Chain A
Amino acid sequence: MIEVVDGERCTSCDICVNVCPTNVFDKTDGIPVIARQGDCQTCFLCELYCPEDALYVSPFADQAQPIDIVALKQTDSMGSYRRAVGWTDETSDRRSVDRSYLLFGH
C-alpha cells in the first residue's frame, strides 16, 4: 500500500491525485495527503507518474507497514519502478527492452 508522500521532494503538482485509479489521495493547499490508504490496490502507478520520486508504495497489499523514511531514502527504492520501465530521461532506452517474446510458450 502507499505509505509515503515525501514532503522534501514533492512539488505539489497533484499528478498522483489525478492518476491514482482508486482515488487514494486528496489535494490540499500543499502536498497531497494519503486520505484513503485502505483503498490502495498496490498497483505502483502513482510512483510511475510522480516526476519527483516522492512516493513510495510498500509491496504489502493487505497491511499498512511502518516506514523509516530516512532509511528508505538511503536505498534506491524510490523511483526504482520508473527507472526500470524507462520513464526517466536517463533510462528511456529501457522502454523497448521487453523480452517477453523469448519467455512465452515456456
Chain B
Amino acid sequence: MPNPTHRAERVSAPEGSVAFEADVLVIGGGPAGTWAAVSAAERGARVVLADKGFCGTSGATAAAGTGVWYIDPDPALREVAMANREKMGGYLQDRRWMTRVLDSTYQHSNRLADWGYPYPVDGRGTSQRNSLQGPEYMRMMRKRTKQAGVTILDHSPALELLVDDDGAVAGASGVRRQKQDRWTVRAKAVVLATGGCAFLSKTLGSNVLTGDGYLMAAEVGAEFSSMEFSNPYAISPAFGSVTKTLFYGWASFTYDDGSVVPGAASKGGRSAIARALLEGPVYARLDKADDDVRHHMRVSQPNFFLPFDRTGIDPFKDRFPVTLRLEGTVRGTGGLRIVDDSCATSVPGLYAAGDAATRELICGGFTGGGSHNAAWAMSSGAWAGQGAADYAAQVGPAAKRKLSSAGAVAFRSRPGRAFAPAALTRAVQAEVFPYELNYFREASRLQGALGRLDAAWRDVSEADAADRSEIVRAREAAAMLATARWMYRSALARQESRGMHRRDDFPDQDSRQRHYVTTGGLDEIWTSARPHAEASYAEAAE
C-alpha cells in the first residue's frame, strides 16, 4: 500500500475551486500519462493526474488499441527491428534512443503481464506481447495508477500552466467540467502527456486530442521538433470513425465504376487513395483475406467490424466507400522537443511524454504501421515520470514560491470582439484537412494557408476572453490554430520530401537536409535546423 504521506494533499481554496499540493502533476491520462504517474509515485513523489476525459477510456490508445514494438532481447532481432524502419523514417532516428526504447518497452510489457494483462498464448505456448487491446490495457493502467497512490482528477481539462518567478513550471490549473468549478495543482514538476493533435477529425478516440499541451507549453516558451511530420491520414469507412488501417492491407481499392485505383494500397499506396478521393468516391473491399485471416481479424479487432455489422455490410464481399481522416501529430512524429534522457523539455520543471513529445528519436519522420508510438508512450512516460520526480526532490518547499498563470489567448479581457471557438475550429480544419494542402504540400499553397492562419491568430489574440462556459472549447481551438501554424511553418522550412512530409515542389529526399526542424513561438513563429544526432556526436568526438 502507498504510504499515505505520499499522497498529494488537498489544500484550502477559494469558493468554486479545489486545490492540491503535489510533487508531480501529470496532465493527460493515456498510456504516457499513466506510466508517468505510476513511475513518479514509485520514486516516492506525491502525484496528481488530471485528464480532460476519463483516465482509462480517454485518448487514442483506449479507443483504438495498439500494436507494440516489443522485440525479444536478441541482438539480431533488435538489429532488424531498428534497421527496417530507418529508410521509411528518412534516417532521422537515433540508434541510442531506439535501443533504450526497445529495452524499456520489453520491461514494461513484461510488467503488464505480471499485473495480469491477458496476453494471448500462441500454438507453441509462448505469450505474445506485441499487441494491446485498448480498453483492457487502459482499464488496467487506471487501476495501477490508483494503487500507486496517485490522485486522479477526471473530466478535468488543464487550461494553463503555472510558473514561478524564474520561469520554472510549477503546476497548472483547469476546470472540472462535470462539477462546474476550477482546479489548481501546485507542483514542483509537470509532465505533459496530453497526446497529439488530430484537429477534431473524429479519427478513433482522438477528439480529446486538440494540442492543448502544446499551447500551454508554448506559453512558457517550450520548443517543438519535427512538426512537419504531422500529416498522416488514416483509412476508415466514409461514414465511420474506425480508422484502423492494418486490415486494409488485404483490401482492393476501386473507383465508382468498379475499376481498380492504380497504385492504391494501405501501406505504400495511400497517397494514390488520396489523389483518387480528390476526384470522387473510392471504395474498398477486403477481398484478399482468406478464411483464416478473416477469423483472426474478427477476434483481434472487434471494433473494426462494428461499422460493418451495424450497417449490414460484409467488408470481405461488399464494396464500401472509404475516406481518409487526418491524424495530425497522433500518428505523426512531431511534438515538444526533448532535451535529455529524462524527457525534459527546454523549460525547467516541464517534461513531455507520449504523443505530446516528439517521436523523431525512434520514428524519424514516419510512424505508419504503428507499434513505435505505443512503445514510445510507455517508455517516455516512465522516463518523464521518474525525471519529474527526481527534479521535484531537488526543488525547495513549494509554499515559498510565488506563482503566476501563464495562459494568454482566450483568457485576456479585451474590449474587442467575442471569442468564437466553433467558427475558429472550422477555419483551422479548412486549412489542415484538405489533401491538396496538407497531404500534398507545396510552397505557395502552404504560404496561402499560413497567411490565413496567422491572420486568425492575430484576430483571436485581440478577441475578448472566452465565456466561462466556452473556455475549454476556446483554448482547444486556439491550440489547434497554433499547432497548424507550427506544422506549416516547419513544412515550409523542409524543402524536400522525407518521411511522411511530401512536397510537390521538392519531390526528392535531399541528403543535405538530414536534420531536425525546431519551431516555436506564438505571435511570431520561428524555425531553425538542428543537426541529426549522428552528425553532432561526430562533431563532439573531434
CB distance from A3 to the nearest CB of B (A): 11
Summarize A's interface: helix, strand, loop or mixed. Answer: loop
Nearest residue (CB) in A for B293 is: A103
CB of A102 within 8 A of CB of B310, answer no
Which of these binds chain A: B203-211, B387-395, B523-531? B203-211
What 1/0 mask marks residues of chain A from 1 to 37 whose CB sits below 8 Å from any chain B CB? Answer: 0000000000000000111111100000000000000
For B208, the chain A residues whose CB sits under 8 A away are 21-22, 41
Q: Is the CB of A23 within 8 A of B177?
A: yes
A62–B57 alpha-carbon span in the complex (Å): 21
Q: In whole angstroms, how far apart are the Cα atoms of A62 and B201 in the complex?
A: 10
Q: How many whole Å from B122's CB to the nearest CB in chain A?
A: 7
Identity of the chain A residue whose Cβ is nearest the Cβ of B60 in the assembled complex:
A43
Given A21-B208, A39-B207: A48 and B120 interface contact (C-beta under 8 Å):
no
Q: Does B119 contact A (CB under 8 A)?
A: yes
The interface residues of chain A lying within 8 Å CB-to-CB of B250 are 106
CB distance from A79 to the nearest CB of B (A): 12
Assess the B57–A20 pair: CB atoms within 8 A.
Answer: yes
Contacts of A63 in B (CB 8 A): 239
Complex CA distance for A8 and B207, rounded to whole angstroms: 30
Contact A59 B207 (CB under 8 A): no
Chain B positions 240-275 with a Cβ under 8 Å from a chain A Cβ: 240-242, 246-247, 249-250
B56: nearest residue on chain A (CB-CB)? A19
- Chain B's closest residue to A96 (CB) is B118
B280 within 8 A of A: no
Cα distance, A50 to B118, chains bound together (Å): 21
Q: How far is the CA of A43 from the CA of B128 in the complex (A)?
A: 26
- Which A residues are CB-close (under 8 A) to B246? 100, 103-104, 106
Chain A hits for B249, CB < 8 A: 106
* Interface residue? B17 (CB, 8 A): no
Set of chain A residues within 8 Å of B178, measured between Cβ atoms: 17, 23
Asked if B221 CB lies within 8 Å of chain A CBs, one says no
> Given contacts A19-B54, A21-B53, A42-B202, are A103 and B297 in contact (CB under 8 A)?
yes
Across the interface, do A61 and B240 meet the contact criterion of CB distance under 8 Å? yes
The interface residues of chain A lying within 8 Å CB-to-CB of B62 are 21, 43, 45
Given the interface contacts A20-B53, A21-B58, A22-B207, does A99 sit within 8 Å of B239 by beta carbon? Answer: no
B300: interface (CB < 8 Å): yes
Does B130 lie within 8 Å of A100, measured CB to CB? yes
Given known pairs A21-B205, A101-B131, the reply for A44 and B120 (CB within 8 Å) is no
Q: Which residues of B have CB within 8 Å of A19? A: 54, 56-57
Instruction: Please pick, from B58, B128, B303, the residue contacting A81 in the complex, using a CB distance under 8 A.
Output: B303
Q: How many residues of B contact A (CB 8 A)?
A: 56
User: CA of A1 to CA of B456 in the docked complex: distance in angstroms?
Assistant: 30
Residue of B nearest to A63 (CB): B239
Chain A interface: which size bin? 35 or more
Q: Which of B70-121 contact A (CB under 8 A)?
A: 118-121
B120 adjacent to A21 (CB under 8 Å) = no
Q: Is the CB of B306 within 8 A of A98?
A: no
Q: Does chain B have a CB within 8 A of A58?
A: yes
Q: Which residues of B contact A49 (CB under 8 A)?
A: 57
Q: Could you mark each residue 464-476 of chain B with 1 if its beta carbon is under 8 Å from any beta carbon of chain A, else 0?
A: 0000000000000
> Which A49-106 residues have a C-beta within 8 angstroms of B?
49, 57-63, 77, 80-81, 84-85, 87, 94-104, 106
Beta-carbon nearest neighbor of B207 in chain A: A41
Is the beta-carbon distance between A21 and B131 smaller than 8 angstroms? no
Restricting to B132-153, which residues have a CB under 8 Å from any CB of A? 133, 135-136
Q: Known interface pairs A43-B63, A103-B296. Does A21 touch B241 (Cβ–Cβ under 8 Å)?
A: no
The yes or no answer to B154 lying at the interface (CB within 8 A) is yes
Q: B135–A48 contact, CB under 8 A?
A: yes
Encode contact with A along B169-208: 1 for CB under 8 Å, 0 otherwise.
0000000011000000000000000000000001011111
Assembled-state Cα–Cα distance A59/B177 (Å): 27
The reply to whether A41 and B57 form a contact with Cβ atoms under 8 Å apart is no
**Inter-subunit contact B241/A42 (CB<8 Å):** yes
**Cβ contacts under 8 Å, B307 to chain A:** 59
- Docked CA distance A49–B136 (Å): 11
In the complex, whether B232 has a CB less than 8 A from a CB of chain A is no
Asked if B310 and A58 make an inter-chain contact with CB atoms under 8 angstroms apart, the answer reads yes
Q: Which residues of A contact B155 (CB under 8 A)?
A: 23
The reply to whether A100 and B154 contact each other, CB–CB distance below 8 Å, is no
Closest to A60 in B: B239
Residues of A within 8 A of B54 (CB): 18-21
Q: Closest approach, in angstroms, between the C-beta of B197 and any C-beta of chain A?
A: 14
Distance (Å) between the CB of A106 and the closest chain B CB? 5
Would A21 and B296 count as touching, CB distance under 8 A? no
Query: In this complex, what residue of B is CB-closest to A42?
Result: B241
Partner of A18, one of B154, B177, B306, B311: B154
Contact: B241 with A101, CB < 8 Å? no
A99 neighbours in B (Cβ, 8 Å): 120, 295-296, 299-300
A26: nearest chain-B partner, CB-CB? B178
Tell me the A residues contacting B by CB distance below 8 Å. Answer: 17-23, 39, 41-45, 48-49, 57-63, 77, 80-81, 84-85, 87, 94-104, 106
4 residue pairs, one from A and one from B, having the closest CB atoms? A21-B53, A84-B302, A100-B131, A59-B307
Other than the given A61-B240, A77-B309, A98-B299, 4 more pairs (CB < 8 A) read A87-B135, A103-B300, A106-B246, A106-B249
Can you spell out 30 A-B residue pairs with CB atoms less than 8 angstroms apart?
A20-B53, A21-B52, A21-B63, A23-B53, A41-B63, A41-B204, A42-B202, A45-B62, A59-B311, A60-B239, A62-B202, A63-B239, A77-B309, A80-B306, A85-B135, A85-B136, A95-B133, A95-B136, A96-B121, A97-B120, A98-B133, A99-B120, A99-B296, A101-B128, A101-B130, A103-B293, A103-B300, A104-B67, A104-B130, A104-B131
